[in-house]
C-alpha cells in the first residue's frame, strides 16, 4: 500500500528525516500524497498510517491536521475544486461568450481526463453527501456557480438551473465514459468530446429566451433560497 503513496513534491532527504516537516507544511504534504495516491487506489484505501510512514513522520502526526481519513479526503477534494474552478475561469478568458463557454467546457473535460482519481472523489463519490467541512461545501458551490455564470453569460435561458444541470450531466458523462474507455467503442469512436460540446452549444443557441433575463434571475434566486 505504502508504495503507491509517493508524492512527487517530496525529496529523498525529506522522506528520510522525520523532523523535516513543520506544523504547516505537513498538512500540504499529506494532501499532495493522498491526491497522488487517488490516481492509483480507491479513496477507501487511503491510510493516514501509511501516509505517515511514506512521509517519514510519526503515526500520530497526521492526526494533528486531520481527525480521520474522511477529513483528509475532504481537504483533497476542496483543493481539487479550487484548482478545477481556476482552470475553467482561466480557460474561459476573454472573447465572444460562445467561445468562452466552449473553452470552459473543454477545460472541464481536460481536468477530468488529467486527474481521473481526483475527479471521481470530487464528483463520483459519497464525499459531498457525508462531509461536514464548510470549506469543501464552499469550494463546491463556487465551482457550480462558475458553470452557472458561464451559461448565463452565453445565453439568457428561462430555466438556467435546469440547463446548468443538463450541461453538467453532459460533461460529467463524457469524463466518465472516457475514464471507463467507452469512448473507443465502435459506435461512437468517430465522435470526439469536442464534437459533443459543439453540438451542445449549438443546441443552447436555439433555446427559448426570457424577456430581459427576468425569469432566469427569479428562478435562480428561488433555487438559492431552497
For the chain, give the DSSP string: -GGG---TT--HHHHH-TTS--HHHHHHHHHHHHHHHTTTS-GGG--HHHHHHHHT--TTGGGGT-SSHHHHHHHHHHHHHHHHHHHHHHHH-SS-HHHHHHHHHHHHHHHHHH-HHHHHHHHSSSHHHH---HHHHHHHHHHHHHHHHHHHHH--BTTHHHHHHHHHHHHHHHHHHHHTTGGGSTTTTT--HHHHHHHHHHHHHTS-B-GGGHHHHHHHHHHHH-
Mean pLDDT of all residues in 120-148: 86
Report pLDDT digits (tens) over 151-208.
777 666 556 777 888 888 999 998 988 887 766 655 566 777 888 888 888 888 775 4
How far apart (Å, rounded) are the C-alpha atoms in residues 163 and 177? 21
How far apart (Å, rounded) are the C-alpha atoms in residues 36 and 55? 13
- For residue 62, what pLDDT is reported? 95
How many degrees, rounded to 5, is the angle at CA 81 between CA 145 and CA 73? 135
Percent of the chain with pLDDT over 70: 73
Percent of the chain with pLDDT over 90: 42
- For residue 216, what pLDDT is reported? 44
Q: Which residue has the higher pLDDT, 159 or 116?
A: 116
All structural domains of the chain:
2-64 (no CATH), 75-225 (1.10.357.10)
The band of 128, judged by pLDDT with boundaries at 50, 70 and 90, is confident
How many degrees, rounded to 5, is the angle at CA 125 between CA 32 and CA 1? 45
- For residue 88, what pLDDT is reported? 94
Residue 147 reports pLDDT greater than 50: yes
How far apart (Å, rounded) are the C-alpha atoms in residues 175 and 42? 17
Amino acid at each position: 500500500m505504502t508504495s503507491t503513496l509517493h508524492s512527487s513534491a517530496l525529496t529523498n532527504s525529506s522522506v528520510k528525516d522525520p523532523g523535516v516537516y513543520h506544523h504547516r507544511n505537513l498538512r500540504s504534504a499529506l494532501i499532495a500524497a493522498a491526491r497522488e495516491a487517488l490516481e492509483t487506489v480507491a479513496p477507501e484505501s487511503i491510510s493516514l498510517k501509511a501516509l505517515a510512514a511514506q512521509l517519514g513522520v510519526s503515526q500520530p502526526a497526521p492526526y494533528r491536521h486531520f481527525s480521520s481519513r474522511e477529513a483528509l479526503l475532504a481537504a483533497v477534494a476542496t483543493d481539487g475544486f479550487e484548482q478545477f474552478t481556476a482552470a475553467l475561469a482561466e480557460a474561459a478568458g476573454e472573447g465572444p461568450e460562445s467561445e468562452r463557454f466552449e473553452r470552459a467546457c473543454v477545460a472541464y473535460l481536460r481536468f477530468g481526463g488529467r486527474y481521473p482519481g481526483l475527479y471521481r472523489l470530487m464528483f463520483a463519490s459519497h464525499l459531498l453527501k457525508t462531509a461536514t467541512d464548510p470549506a469543501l461545501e464552499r469550494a463546491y458551490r463556487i465551482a457550480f456557480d462558475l458553470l452557472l455564470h458561464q451559461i448565463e453569460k452565453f445565453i439568457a435561458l428561462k430555466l438556467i438551473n435546469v440547463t446548468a444541470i443538463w450541461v453538467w450531466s453532459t460533461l460529467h458523462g463524457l469524463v466518465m465514459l472516457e475514464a471507463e474507455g467507452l469512448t473507443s467503442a465502435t459506435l461512437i469512436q468517430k465522435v470526439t468530446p469536442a464534437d459533443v460540446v459543439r453540438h451542445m452549444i449549438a443546441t443552447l443557441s436555439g433555446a427559448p429566451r426570457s424577456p430581459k433575463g427576468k425569469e432566469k434571475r427569479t428562478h435562480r434566486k428561488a433555487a438559492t433560497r431552497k
